[in-house]
Amino acid sequence: MMFLQRKQEEFYFEIEGPISMGIFLTGNEVSRALHDIVAGHDLRCAVSFWKYSATVALRKAGTDINRTRIVCNISTGECTPEALLELGAPHNNNLRYHSNLSANVWVSDRGALVGAATPLDLATEKGRSKNGILEAATYHRANSSAWRAAAEWFDRLYNGARPLDVELLELARFKCSLKSRVSEWRQPQNGSLLDLVLDDPEIFNGVGFVITSRLTTEKERSSARQGATEAGVAPQDVIDAFPSDGIFLGRDRSDVLLWPRSFIELWLPNNVLKVFPRTVCTVDPDGGTIFTRRAPRLLAGLLPTASFDIHTAQRTDTARIHLLRDLGLGLFPTAIKFAQTISAL
């Protein structure tokens, strides 16, 4: 049996029976237990979605956000940018992201709670939260076998999660914006590369997109090669060996520095779109030149070949790439940036 008591204005638990015993909680019991755990030391939170109200509640409880280890799943579209910023993103290394997380686990030196959503700010009445959600969870006393298992599981999850950096914060913004406009979503077009990016930009993690249309001359390429050689970018024989179609020149220095190491070139000099996966070999920032080679295996490593045909994508996506080109948009360092732009069309 479990007794909810008050000690120094804080709720705590006394359990009769074996230390490994778990307690099933509902309604107001969940809120009380969670408040007690949050008030403890070494707080760890694995929450698939995170709302601003939960962050506010942590602060009200006196929780040191910077020392709290948190893992969330921004791919759900349920982690609001406001909440993540309040948690210190993108500069809080203890705030992390795991794309496969679908759990709600809270652990501290006061116990573990498994199964609750984010009821920190919820006033429960007759077993229901103020927004009508019926809450249920299991509580496990600190140092019980279940508590230790939860703590060990969290450590493994946390160590395998990615710190929520600037790029992931942008992804969270994008996912939330799509979630709020789900009824306005365009029906995916069969074979569309752009719709694949729009639907799940994480597939293209580490890959950028570049829209090009300019045909360079041999004189321009020769001048770019000479400038790169004189700048000491690479030996002349290496520079001269780069294929003519892989030289991007006349770029601003800022563009060169932002240019993604791996990218998909969307080449549309007229009305026929061509898609070329590429990798950057070397750059000449001062000369505004990027030297690349085609990387035919890049897309194969990202997408299931059975469900994607590059020739179909070239036909399907021409109109939207044409529109982006005419708008003067060309360089997208990340798939997230590209997806945000596509969604606004």
Q: Measured between alpha carbons, how far is 336 from 81 in angstroms, rounded to an integer?
A: 15
Q: Are 44 and 68 in contact (CB under 8 A)?
A: yes
Residues 304 and 204 in one domain: yes
Residues 66 and 7 in one domain: yes
Residues 71 and 51 in one domain: yes
Residues 166 and 197 in one domain: no
Q: Are 280 and 290 in contact (CB under 8 A)?
A: yes
Higher per-residue confidence, 319 vs 123 = 319
pLDDT at 304: 56
- The widest CA-to-CA distance across the chain, in whole angstroms, is 86
Higher per-residue confidence, 116 vs 96 = 96
Higher per-residue confidence, 127 vs 266 = 266
pLDDT tens digits, 223-268: 999 999 999 999 999 999 999 999 999 999 999 999 999 999 999 9
Q: Measured between alpha carbons, how far is 236 from 82 in angstroms, rounded to an integer?
A: 51
Q: Are 140 and 111 in contact (CB under 8 A)?
A: yes
Residue partners of 336: CB distance under 8 A and separation at least 6: 167, 170, 171, 174, 201
Q: Please state the pTM of the whole predicted model.
A: 0.59
Joined together, the tokens standing for residue 193 give 């590369």
Residue 307 has pLDDT above 70, yes or no: no
pLDDT at 319: 93
User: Average pLDDT, whole number, for the chain?
Assistant: 83
Q: Measured between alpha carbons, how far is 131 from 123 in angstroms, rounded to an integer?
A: 9
Residues 72 and 162 in one domain: yes
Residues 143 and 258 in one domain: no
Residue partners of 304: CB distance under 8 A and separation at least 6: none
Q: Are 339 and 198 in contact (CB under 8 A)?
A: yes
pLDDT at 145: 93
With cut-offs at 50, 70 and 90, classify the pLDDT of residue 1. Answer: very low
- Give the mean model confidence (pLDDT) for residues 191-217: 87
Point out the domain boundary residue: 177, 212, 228: 177
Q: Which domain does 163 fall in, by range?
A: 2-177
Higher per-residue confidence, 16 vs 333 = 333
Higher per-residue confidence, 322 vs 179 = 322
With cut-offs at 50, 70 and 90, classify the pLDDT of residue 150. Answer: very high
- Give the mean model confidence (pLDDT) for residues 298-323: 80
pLDDT at 179: 59
Residues 235 and 314 in one domain: yes
Residues 138 and 58 in one domain: yes
pLDDT at 189: 58
For every residue of 132-195, DSSP letters joined together read SPBPEEEEE-TTSHHHHHHHHHHHHHHHTSEE--HHHHHHHHHHHHHHHTGGGPPPPPTT-HHH
User: What are the φ/ψ torsions at residue 15 (nearest 5 degrees)?
Assistant: -120, 130
Point out the domain boundary residue: 177, 196, 214: 177
Q: Which residues pair with 177 in a beta bridge?
A: none
pLDDT at 116: 53
Joined together, the tokens standing for residue 309 give 């045909």
Report helix, strand or coil for 342: helix
Residues 84 and 160 in one domain: yes
Residues 159 and 200 in one domain: no
Q: What's the CATH code of the domain at 59?
A: 3.30.870.10
The count of structural domains within the chain is 2
pLDDT at 122: 39
Q: Are 112 and 147 in contact (CB under 8 A)?
A: yes
Opening angle at CA 74, ends 200 and 280, nearest 5: 50
pLDDT tens digits, 21-32: 689 988 788 888
Residue 6 has pLDDT above 70, yes or no: no
Residue 123 has pLDDT above 50, yes or no: no
pLDDT tens digits, 168-197: 888 888 887 765 544 344 445 578 899 888
Residues 240 and 331 in one domain: yes
Residues 129 and 195 in one domain: no
Residue 17 has pLDDT above 60, yes or no: no
